[in-house]
Amino acid sequence: MAKAAIITGSTSGIGLGMAESLAGAGYNIMFNGLARDEKEKNAAEEVAKKTAERYEVKTLFSPANMMKPEEIREMCAWAEKDFGQVDVLVNNAGIQHVSPIDEFPEEKWDAIIAINLTAAFHTSKAVWKGMKSRGFGRIINLTSAHALRASEFKSAYVSSKHGVTGLTKTLALEGAPHGITCNAICPGYVMTPLVQNQIEDQMKAHNMERDEVVEKVMLYKHAIKDFAQVHELGALAVFLASDEAKMITGVSIPVDGGWTAR
Ligand code: NAD
């Protein structure tokens, strides 16, 4: 039976890159992402369909909201039933909010902790029994350089990502007797549509050329003044999912151009 992966937040950016890489390696894919209306749902279903055709794998799309544990459990059960197994779980869905602590909206704190951290507990719990019974599982958490370092004005994001680092280590220990590994990928800046738009905004705000914005505003913490690309993160996920990575567990792997070497 073909191996299967659930990737949360895979309708855009890094999650979509992960889905392409894992589908390219022959995995059936459960896509997931927010679909606030029929148009967004159709667009997400189209992404899943195109991926299935291109890589000759099976795909599904679930609009499960990562803030709703019941929807998370339904998504995981659907993947398990339709694909017959879930070998890989990529906890990727994430949101950000930037604000000083005294002005930080409480509902933003709650949403960031729910989506970035608590959802990874619910997904992992939901796939755990199946992985344990088959003696194989790979949980890959998309954290951030902010799982290892802080930046001002990102209290909720940094706290949520540091929390996932703790979850990663704990699941590594609990999974060890059952062939389940759990690791985190910690990107610095990654070239996604979100970041592309930020560059254009910063060019206007600072009255700078693109290269200057990239080097002086965005990548000043990177030693390598470049962005990671989503397929590079996808290639790492494919490796972490493989049999050859069986001894790698409980670690946070920076893909940050040297940011956390400082
Ligand atoms: P993105 O905004 O392009 O995509 C986020 C995805 O999450 C989308 O598919 C969206 O639909 C989904 N999502 C958001 N809220 C959801 C919810 N409540 N329920 C279900 N799905 C939801 O983001 P991205 O830049 O690809 O980031 C993906 C992950 O990588 C995040 O965890 C982010 O913190 C992390 N990360 C990104 C960067 C970067 O430079 N882009 C750097 C470090 C870490």
pLDDT at 109 over 90: yes
Kindly report the CATH number assigned to the domain that includes residue 154.
3.40.50.720
pLDDT confidence of 1, banded at 50, 70, 90? confident
Same domain flag for 173 and 63: yes
Asked whether residue 120 falls in the same domain as residue 205, the answer is no
Q: Are residues 215 and 246 in the same domain?
A: no
State whether 204 and 256 are in the same domain.
Answer: no
| Relative orientation angle of helices 13-24 and 230-241, to the nearest 10 degrees | 50
Contact 238, 21 (CB under 8 A): yes
- Taking the centre of ligand 1 as the mean of its atom positions, its distance from the CA of residue 133, in whole angstroms, is 30
Residues 196 and 184 placed together within one structural domain of the fold? no
Same domain assignment for residues 135 and 254? yes
Q: What are the CA-CA distances from residue 150 to residues 33, 153, 196, 200, 257 (Å)? A: 27, 9, 23, 25, 16
d(CA 51, CA 93): 19
Same domain, 238 and 145: yes
Is 234 a residue whose pLDDT tops 90?
Answer: yes
**114 shares a domain with 15:** yes
In the residue annotation, 157 being an active-site residue is answered as: yes
Write down the pLDDT at residue 193. Answer: 84
Is there a single domain that holds both residue 54 and residue 94? yes
Token pair 């951030």 is at which residue? Answer: 144
The verdict on the CB of residue 141 being under 6 Å from ligand 1 is no
Whether residues 19 and 119 fall in one domain: yes
Residues 27-52: pLDDT tens digits?
999 999 999 999 999 999 999 999 99
- Asked whether residue 88 falls in the same domain as residue 218, the answer is no
Phi and psi at residue 89, to the nearest 5°: -120, 120
Nearest residue by C-alpha to atom 44 in ligand 1 = 144
Q: Which residues contact 85 (CB under 8 A, 6 or more apart)?
A: 1, 3, 4, 130, 134
> What values do phi and psi take at 246, rounded to 5?
-60, -25
Could you tell which of 65, 92, 160, 186 is best to mutate to test the pocket of ligand 1, judged by most ligand atoms within 8 Å of the CB?
92
Total domains, the chain? 2
Whether residue 64 is found in the same domain as residue 175: yes
Give backbone dihedrals phi and psi of 222, rounded to 5 degrees, phi first.
-75, 135
Residue-number span of the structural domain to which 103 is assigned: 4-190+228-261
The residue among 86, 96, 114, 100 whose CA lies nearest residue 187 is 96
